[in-house]
Amino acid sequence: MELIGHLQLGFAAAAGAQNLLACFTGALLGTLIGVLPGLGPVATIALLLPLTYGLPPLTALIMLAGIYYGAQYGGSTTSILLNLPGEASSVVTCRDGHPLAKQGRAGTALAVAALGSFFAGCVGTLFLAACAPLLMRFALDFGPAEYCSLMLFGLSGAVAIASRSLLKSLAMVVLGLLLGLIGTDANSGVARYTFGLRELDDGVGTTVLAVGVFGFAELLHGLEHACRRTPAMRPCGRLWPDRADTRRAVPAVLRGTALGTLLGLLPGAGALLPAFASYALEKACARDPARFGQGAIEGVAGPESANNAAAQTAFIPMLTLGIPSNAIMALMIGALTLHDIQPGPQVIVHDPVLFWGLVASMWIGNAMLLVLNLPLIGLWVRLLATPYRLLYPAILLFCCLGLYALANRTGDLYLAALFGLLGYLLQKSGCETVPLLLGFVLGPLFEEHLRRALLLARGDASVFLQRPLSLALLLAALALILGA
């Protein structure tokens, strides 16, 4: 009954005209950001953060939160249609979403992604409302050893999702780890693998690598075969999944929602790790794993549900402990401090309208996103008939604009072009680039927590086996490798 009273308070606050407008604006902006490659929610929220100073705290948070979880919705669109992830967490959606589009089932893939995202977002918000204190105790049990084992589990998942050579997939993870080491070492302050280039002192951006190995590489691959095909893919008239697709997608949505809800609590996991972990789980549960990478609907339903559930529960450590679970949550803390609000347990007690209003707005925002995305599916599918000579220059333009807008550096464009050539050569060699990106993202986190765990244990590596949660994650990682 107490929860119902809190939710009534939250909906009364979120249903105000100004807050509804902010929720719609954030959801719409997030969808557009997710669709446009290169321009992610981190850069957008950072740009809009000063503008929220003149807004009430709840209104500002509602709009910024809408941008975050709205980008998870929109990121699947270009992943499915063009094999070009609008968001890093949508990279894994490319593996089966794009083959579905090539088979003339783009409408079904987009509908499953939207419906799965809506369900997962609603469930994630319910967990945020009902189980925040309980789930935070689970998150607090994670120390450096557990985080290191978790990152190793994620890297093992990258190997496990490979549909081709296991050795090539492992090589891609190692290459991603090496690329992630580029930049200034946080502990010693020494520049590593920069070859004397000052532009690399801050490392390689995730967006730069993702747009290069997926966006630019796909452009090169398409131009190579442009003479043999004029439309991008076959148009698709069917929107709703049939009975067979529903039977496969529903369990995947449920598993992805549960996994994303838990992993969204953990600092550093973001929405990328839940998506990859969900894909690995679906492949492990499938009767015929060979279908994955060829157009399995579970490969879209599971990861899209996982990343949207994680986007909701990522607010739990930020609001209840003041601990950001990713870069976007750090910006949310910045938005709170702009309004003289200290995030932490006292937010729920001293400002319940802010906490419960934000929770209620997430349900409203997810409903808005569903209404926004489902009618637009027909519009997105019509893009499939656009000739390559018109489609590819537009994609290239948006990629370059998005990359330049991140840091106003032309060097990022050159790096992306280099990674595009690398991605093209890897595709020609039969290597998958998805494990490379996951290795790149998780590698620095793995190194950081490995160093911290060994420092606290005074060099005793057995600490990873002595802690039960860490041992369980290591055994799960071993099971993924052996089952691959």
Of 18-22, 165-169, 328-332, 350-354, which has the strongest mean pLDDT? 18-22
Q: Work out the average pLDDT over 322-326.
A: 63
Q: What is the pLDDT of residues 168-187, one digit of tens each?
A: 878 888 898 888 888 888 77
**475 versus 44: which is more confidently predicted?**
475
Q: Work out the average pLDDT over 16-43.
A: 79
Q: Work out the average pLDDT over 287-291.
A: 81
What's the confidence (pLDDT) of residue 69?
Answer: 81
Tokens, residue 152: 């190793």
Q: Work out the average pLDDT over 46-60.
A: 77
What's the confidence (pLDDT) of residue 102?
Answer: 81
Ranking 131-140, 323-332, 473-482 by mean pLDDT, the lowest is 131-140
- Non-local CB neighbours of 291 within 8 Å, separated by 6+ positions: none
The rounded mean pLDDT for the chain is 78
Inform me whether the pLDDT recorded for 233 exceeds 60. no
11 in Cβ contact with 19 (< 8 Å):
no
What's the confidence (pLDDT) of residue 255?
Answer: 92
What's the confidence (pLDDT) of residue 38?
Answer: 54
Q: Work out the average pLDDT over 361-366.
A: 88
Inform me whether the pLDDT recorded for 373 exceeds 50. yes
> 262: pLDDT confidence band, cut at 50, 70 and 90?
confident
Cα separation, 271 vs 87, whole angstroms: 10
Inform me whether the pLDDT recorded for 54 exceeds 70. yes
Can you name the residues that pair with 184 across neighbouring β-strands? 191
Q: What is the pLDDT of residues 188-229, one digit of tens each?
A: 778 888 887 877 887 887 778 877 887 788 778 767 765 444
Q: What is the pLDDT of residues 60-106, one digit of tens each?
A: 889 888 888 888 777 777 788 777 776 666 778 888 888 888 887 88
Inform me whether the pLDDT recorded for 122 exceeds 80. yes
What backbone phi and psi angles, to 5 degrees, belong to 341?
Answer: -115, 125
- What single-letter amino acid sits at 208? V
What's the confidence (pLDDT) of residue 231?
Answer: 45
> 406: pLDDT confidence band, cut at 50, 70 and 90?
low
What's the confidence (pLDDT) of residue 269?
Answer: 57
CA atoms within 13 A on the CB side of 279: 37
* pLDDT-above-90 percentage for the chain: 2
Residue-number span of the structural domain to which 455 is assigned: 2-483
Q: What is the pTM of this model?
A: 0.68
What's the confidence (pLDDT) of residue 232?
Answer: 46
The domain total for the chain is 1
Q: Work out the average pLDDT over 373-399.
A: 70
**134 versus 460: which is more confidently predicted?**
460
Inform me whether the pLDDT recorded for 166 exceeds 80. no
- CA distances 22 to 55, 171, 236, 315, 371, Å, are 10, 45, 34, 18, 16
